[in-house]
Every structure is written in structure tokens, then in C-alpha cells.
A and B are shown apart, each in its own frame.
Chain A
Amino acid sequence: MAKVRAETTRQHLYGLQTDPTSRWRATVLAGAVGALLATVHWSGLLVGGALVGLAWPTLRRALVAGLGFGVAVVAVFALELALAGSLSEVLAMGVFGVVPAVVPLVAGPLGAASRGLFPDADGE
């Protein structure tokens, strides 16, 4: 019974991963959840990367999506700083200003790499 349920879930997931509209919707939703979690704790960046990666049919594309999630987080963070009037000050902080840009670009793909724990979707 459980085996049947797992197979059904996988089929649903593969269906989502191979349908472009569903895939993008899932990616945006996963990214939003990840970003939300990342406002509470940095591990949200890993979770976000993993969720985004799950929306894509292959490991390679999941890694790209994870990187995209990282870029989006950097953009959101930059926007937050810009709205607070602090962006130029952060950019002037040298290595301290580089860290928050690098962390999502590493954490996103790292989380998305978990997609590799499952086989690629059929037909991809």
C-alpha cells in the first residue's frame, strides 16, 4: 500500500517537474517559502535550495534553479538594504559585504543538490 502511495507521489512530482507551467509555479512557491524561512534562520537558504531543486526534473537543472534561488535571495536582500538606505554602506564593507552575497549562491545549489538523491524524471 505504502509502496503504491510512494509511486503515486513520485508520478505526481515527475508530472510537476515535466510540465513547464507547474514547474515554474512550484519553483516560485518553493523560492518564496525558502526566502521566508531564511529570514528566520540561514538554514532556510539550504531548505529553499532543496525545495526549488525538487521542482526540476534533473540534477543539472535543479542546480541551476538552486543558483537562481540564490541570486533571487541576493536581489531581495539588496532591495531590502536599498529600501533601508544601507546598500552602499554594505557594499563598502569589503569582505563583510561580500559574505551575504556569496552565502546564498553556495547554499542554494548545495540545497538543490539533494535533487540528485532521486532519479531524473522520465523523458529528461
Chain B
Amino acid sequence: MLAALLAGGVGASAVDPIRSGLDRFAPLSGDVWDTATASVPGTVTTPYGEATVRYDDEGVPTVAADDEASLYFAVGYVHAADRLFQMDLIRRRMRGTLAAAVGQQVESDIFHRRMDFAAAAQANWDLLDGTPTGDAVEAHTAGVNAYRERQPLPLEFQLLGYEPDPWTPVDSMLIEKQITWGLTGDFSTLRRAAIADALGAEAAERIDPRRLDHDSPILREASAGSSSGGGGESADSSDTNQSLGTPHGDGGASGDLAAWLSRFESTDGVGSNSWVVSGEHTESGQPLLANDPHLTLLAPPVWYEMHHELPNRSVSGVTFPGQPFVVIGENDAGAWGFTNAGMDVLDCYEYEIDGERYRYGDEWREFESATETIEVSGGEDREITVRKTVHGPVIERQGRRVGVAWTGLQASRTAEAVRALNRSEGRDEAVDALSRFDQPTQSAVYADREGNTHYHVTGMVPIRRTDGEAVAGDRIFDGSAREGEWPGYTPYGEPDFESDGWIPFEDKPHADNPDLLATANQRVIDDSATEYYLSEGYSAPWRGARIYDLLDQRAAGDDPITHEYSRAVQLDMYDRRAELFVPEILGARSAMGERALPLANDLDGWDYAMDRDSRAALVFALFVDHYRQRTFGPAYEAADLDDSLYPGDWVLLHLDADDPWFTDPPAGEARDRAQVIAAALVDTADEIEREGYETYGDYNVTDIDHPFGLGFLNYPEYPADGSPATVRNIRVESSVGASYRLLARFDGDPSQTVIPGGNDGDYFSDHYADQLRAWADGEYSPLVPSTDGDPSIRFRGGGDRG
């Protein structure tokens, strides 16, 4: 009996999954605990020159070396030490190999395989290989692999039970493709077409207008510069309607396709703020620059803070883990930042199709196709056919096929440009660097210690042509008729950078030495001020107009703009949506019953500040979504349209009481807007009661999760201020917000920064989430390199570059 018990117990431990569980979780020997007890070694061999790493109190490393290769090897090493799993996850997502590691991500893998970002990244590397930038990337890659080979793998690898493949320069290029896709991968054309298809072109134009009526563009007085290229006629409603048809009998764009693709587009709310103020308006007489890019909030964060020290250069700011250079930050000469510009760099095409052929002009071409197998962890492998046309990948969904052209599918010089920014010694060199920042299209702001300021739209923007005439990209093109061609475009290859198919850098919206300029993803420039077609649609100007208001107000007064004032602007929580619509809610009180009325009264006298302690902010924040649902829900449901296609807040809150959406909706009976408002407030009251909310801070929390979905890896939840429409930005529903806050100054005091989380992606680290509370509370840390004291890591010669 005893022998049987012993044999059974010991035998069971030798069988999977018990054995592999013991291998990973047994105390003292379990692989999982290696990372809980390990520390980065004090000395690391390097095939390059010597380097040192000193960490500050927040785990932000200062990497110092005598030359670039030595520096970037060490940068790669610390990237891997702190973020290796995050880096691996990104490349898996972009290569379409996520399901092999985590299972259940087959749809994501299908999309990413079809887009073939990996081939685009390869093209990028082919362009950079052998250049000084390529050398830097190779040194960084060697550093990543040195850590990967020599040190315990991060906890996530142990939990999933796989080891990462060697890091490659192409993987670094994939990091760039990932952020580029996240910022410019936009299927607005398909979404708009799906809405028009379901509700009619007129209704679609009203609820999803291409331009929002406001007077706060980024460039308020300037023109876009000399315009020599052809502009583009926008598609009017009837054009759009025509494009929705099924011109060649193979099906038009459908709501299904648009809704499915929305899962892989930019996350809702991705945007950013930035501004520059020249010495003309500042207390010190030196410029100020501020930037806070709004990206998905993740554990660990998108950005990795660090300082790069070379004998003749000091660069501080944030890098993308997996890319060697500082993307946003400052060096000895100046500071720079980016916001999304909203340029239209993606077009969709439909074709006349015959089996595996599509018509392109006068000829029939075979789809370039390949069969690929998606490996699924814990499930059955999936086989898909990946097709491409002359324009790029073919996206397919339930029999619908759309060809996609996107500038990001080409090789880019962006890494070269960012390296040049790091090395720049003033505005002229910085602007020259920006001229090679091919993707993503961004609004770049720059200021230097000489007092210069600059704004420039960066990135390749195609000039589409049909029969030689420039056309707008706000429609689905007939690819078979060769509509909307992009001269110079080479998907998965090197584009013709000198082609006249791109808006010249000099012609892109820009401003030399602006005294005061603010960007928040709003319209860059009035369409009448440029002959080029730039964008299918910009973000609402809630934030942009507010920043301009605050800066204008101060500039017009007696008090100069100070660093502290710039900080107050970055943390401003005044919600212009509330300013616009709360009076409408209060005006509808006569239609309210006893459930809605108290909530409306909560809004009376409110200062429109989205403060965590405010009851009114809670009511308003929840109301907006219920009001959207009440306003558009019935018509969308009747038309079988996905709620991901709902209009944004600008359109919703600008619908007058006599708007046809209320008086003559596409589906259902006419409604009184006051009644809709009252009903939405009742819904709000129900939600507040159900969730037990008291104030805004009960709802508006730092809901920042690790991609794994394991509770202990998620960040703690702290109450936060701000909203999706305030300068102090957070969108809790989609976990988007200020992914980095930078306040750069040149008056001798240090610039200030903070990230939403911690610099170290190691769950066991003290720096896993140590900046999160400060971020939520609007606090910053000085951006100062650590140059004193013993280094934490010394890199000494002797390693193999392998």
C-alpha cells in the first residue's frame, strides 16, 4: 500500500503537465523564480568598446560610451534586460506568429500575415544595412541577444513555456512598422463607405463629415508653403455612393469588413498634444516645448526612458524598446516631439476578379499568392492564402476582397532620421533630419537653445492620380481602372523617394520660428490654404482649441509663459465638450423625471473640470456614451451596423434639437432630443447605481493591463483626472492616454518627464509601476542623466558579435 502510494506520487510528478509545472514553479529550482531572484550582472563582455550603465532612482538608465556602436550594444542589452518579452510580443504580433505562443490570437495573425509587415520590415532593413544607422541597429541587436543568451528569461516566457528566437535587425524594423501602423493604419474610407452603404450617403456625410467646423487648425494663419503639385478633388456624396457599389460584381466594402478591420486599426483615442512657445512669450526668453503622445496604455509602457551619453553628445528622452535611438526627447542643442498628423497614407482598391486573377488596366494579372500555416498553441494549425496585388496586400473577409496601399509597406529612412535628430546640433540639422522621417506622418515640433522653434509635417504623403490627375484618397478606388495610383510607390520595396508622387517636404505644412504653436491632432491647415489633399479627417479640436486658448490668453496678458504654466496646460482638465453640451442638458430638465433630474442638477454650476473628486464629471462622462447609444443605437441596429462605427463626440454633441437624426431618423420614429437626453441620464443613473460610483475618480482610474490578462501583472488602479477630450488625457474605456509627458526647457533648469507605469517590464522589479502614481497625480521627474557613482553595469571588451 505504502509502496503503491510512493510509486504513484513519484510517478505522477514525472508526467506532464505536473512535471513541467514543477520544472517552472518548484521552490529553489523553478525557472519562474530565476527572474524573481536574479539581478543583472555587474560586468558584461561586449564585442564593441567599453560602456557603463547607471540607473537612477526610477530605474532609468544612463548609458555612456565612447562611440556609437559601444553605446548601442549597451542600449540593446538594457532594453532586453527590462523589456525582452514586450519586444518579442510586438514582433510576434507583427509577424503573425502570436497564436503559436499564446493561442487564441488567430484572427490577429491572419490580418498581420495578410498585411505582411514582416516583408515591409525586411525592405526597411535592406535599405539601412551597411549604413551608419544600420551599424547602430546591428550593435543594438547584438546587445539584445547578449542578454537573451546569458541571462534568465523574463517571467512571461517561463509562464508560457517558450524561448524567444534570436533578435534580428529586421525585428527592430518591425518595431517601427508597429508604431507606424498604430498611428496611420486607418480604414476610414471603408468605415465611411459601410455607413453610407447602410444609411445612405447623405446621412453618412452628416454624421461622419470629413471636416469639422472650427477655427483652431494647427497653422492658423500660415499657408502650407509653395504648392506646385496637383491637389485632389474630394469625393462628394454621390462619388462616395458610386464607390460603394459593386462595380465589378465581386462585392463592395461591407460593414463586416470595416468592423473586422477596426480591431486592427489605431486604438480609439490615439492622439497627442504638443506645443512650442518661442522666447518672445516666455519668462526666460528661451523657448518651451511640451509633448504628450496619447497611445495605448500598457503594462509595461510603450516607451522606455533613458539617457545616451557620448563624449560629444548627450541625448535624453524615450526610446521604443527594440529600437536604439531616442524618439522623443532632447539633446545638447534642442528638444523635439511628435503628434499624429492625420495624413491620409492608406488607400483601398476594388478589382474586377476572375478566379485567381484580377484586372489591372488592360491586362489580367495573377494575384501574387502564398499559402501560410498559422501555428496555434493548444489548438489546430490554420492554413491561409495570402494574396497581393500591384497595390499591396489583399484583405479578405467573408468573400469581400480589398487591395490596400499603405506608405508603411515600403522601406523608410525613419531610423536614419531619428538617429540624425539625436545627433542634430540645432534647428537646421533637425529639420534636415525630419525631411527623411518617411513614416509615420507626424506633426513634429522642435525648439533649440539658440531660441529657434519649428513645426513641420513629416512623412511620405502620396499624391494619388487617376488618368494623370491628382485625386483625393477619400474613396475606394477602382483598382482595375487604375484609379488612385501612387507614382513612386513600391510595396515591400524601396520607394522612389525623388518621385513627384509624394508631397515634397518643403510643401508640407510647416512653420519656421512660430512664436506659439499647438498641435493636438486637429486639422493641420485649412484646405483652402493648400492645393494638396492631405487628410480624410482630423481629430476634433477639443484639446487643440483649449491649448490655443490657454496659450493665447497668457501671451496676450502681462504675465509671460513659464515652465510652470506650460505644465499647468499639460495637466489642464477643462472639458470643452461639457462647456458645449451641459447647457443643453440643463435646458432639457423639463423633460426629466425624478431619476434623471438629480443628475442634471449635479451638472448645474459645474466648472467643467474632469476632476477625480467631481460628481458632475462622473455624470457627464457616463452620460456622453449613453447619449450616443440612445441617439444612434436604434438606427445602427436596424441597419446592422457595428457600434465601432458610431460617430465621435464632436458630431454627437453638435446635433441640434431639430437635426434630422431626431426629427427624421433613418430608422424608427421621430424623437424629441430633450427626451433622448433625459433617457440617457436615466441610463447614467442606472450605471452609477449598478457600479457604486460616487465621484469621477471611482470610474476614471488607471485601468492599465498587461497583455497576458493575469491579474497580478496588471498595474494598480489609481483615480485619475482628465478625459478623452481634455489636454490631460486619458480614455479609460480603451486604455489610451498620455503615454509620456515631456516638458522641455532651455533656461538652465532640467526638463521634466513621467511615464504611466515603470521603466522596467520585470514584474519583480521595484520599477515595474513606480511612476504610475506620479503620472496619475500629475507629478514629474527631472530629465537628468546619472553620471556619478559606481555603474550598475560595466561593459568590457571580449565578447563575440555573433
Contacts and interface: CB of A to CB of B under 8 A. Distances in A.
Interface of A: 35, 38-46, 59, 73-74, 76-77, 80-81, 84-86, 89-90, 92-94, 96, 99-101, 103-104, 107, 110, 113-114, 116-117
Contacts of A110: 6, 9-10
Contact of B27 (A40, A43, A104, A116): A104
A86 B37 contact: yes
A117 B2 contact: yes
B6 to A, nearest CB: 6
The 6 closest A-B CB pairs, nearest first, are A42-B26, A77-B27, A100-B27, A86-B36, A99-B25, A84-B37
A59 to B, nearest CB: 8
A81 B37 contact: yes
20 contacts: A35-B28, A38-B26, A41-B29, A42-B26, A42-B29, A43-B13, A73-B27, A73-B28, A76-B27, A81-B37, A84-B36, A84-B37, A85-B764, A85-B766, A89-B763, A94-B711, A96-B712, A99-B21, A104-B27, A116-B2
Contacts of A81: 33, 36-37
A38 B26 CA distance: 9
Contacts of B2: 59, 113, 116-117
A41 B5 CA distance: 22
B29 A40 contact: yes
The main secondary structure of chain A at its interface with chain B is: helix
A96 B764 CA distance: 14
Interface in B1-42: 2-3, 5-6, 9-10, 13, 21-23, 25-30, 32-33, 36-39
Given A84-B36, A94-B712, A117-B2, A89 B26 contact: no
Contact of A80 (B10, B21, B37, B711): B37
A44 B27 contact: no
B28 to A, nearest CB: 5
In terms of DSSP, what is the predominant structure of the interface of chain B? helix
Nearest to B768: A89
Contacts of A101: 27
Contacts, number: 86
A90 B764 CA distance: 8
Nearest to A96: B25
Contacts of A114: 6
Nearest to B8: A110
Interface string B169-206: 00000000000000000000000000000000000000
A41 B13 CA distance: 12
Contacts of A45: 26
Contacts of A117: 2-3, 6
Contacts of A84: 36-39, 764
Nearest to A94: B712
Given A46-B10, A93-B712, A74 B27 contact: yes
Nearest to A93: B712
Given A100-B33, A117-B3, A92 B712 contact: yes
A94 to B, nearest CB: 6
Contacts of B13: 42-43, 46, 107
Given A92-B712, A99-B21, A86 B764 contact: yes
A74 B2 CA distance: 26
B30 A100 contact: yes
A96 to B, nearest CB: 7
B27 A38 contact: yes
Interface string B143-179: 0000000000000000100000000000000000000
B329 to A, nearest CB: 30
Contacts of B764: 84-86, 89-90
Contact of B29 (A39, A46, A113): A39
Given A89-B764, A96-B32, 5 more contacts: A84-B38, A90-B764, A96-B25, A113-B5, A116-B2
Contacts of A93: 712
Q: In the complex, which of the residues A74, A103, A117 has the most CB atoms of chain B within 10 Å of its own CB atom?
A: A103
Q: Which of B25, B30, B33 is the most central at the interface, judged by chain A CB atoms within 10 Å of its CB?
A: B25
A58 to B, nearest CB: 13
Nearest to B711: A94
A69 to B, nearest CB: 12
Nearest to A43: B13
Contacts of A74: 27
A113 B28 contact: no
Contacts of B33: 77, 81, 90, 100
A104 B30 CA distance: 12
Contacts of A41: 29
Interface in B28-78: 28-30, 32-33, 36-39
A96 B311 CA distance: 47
Contacts of A76: 27-28
Nearest to A36: B28
Given A94-B711, A110-B6, A113-B6, A38 B37 contact: no
A51 to B, nearest CB: 15
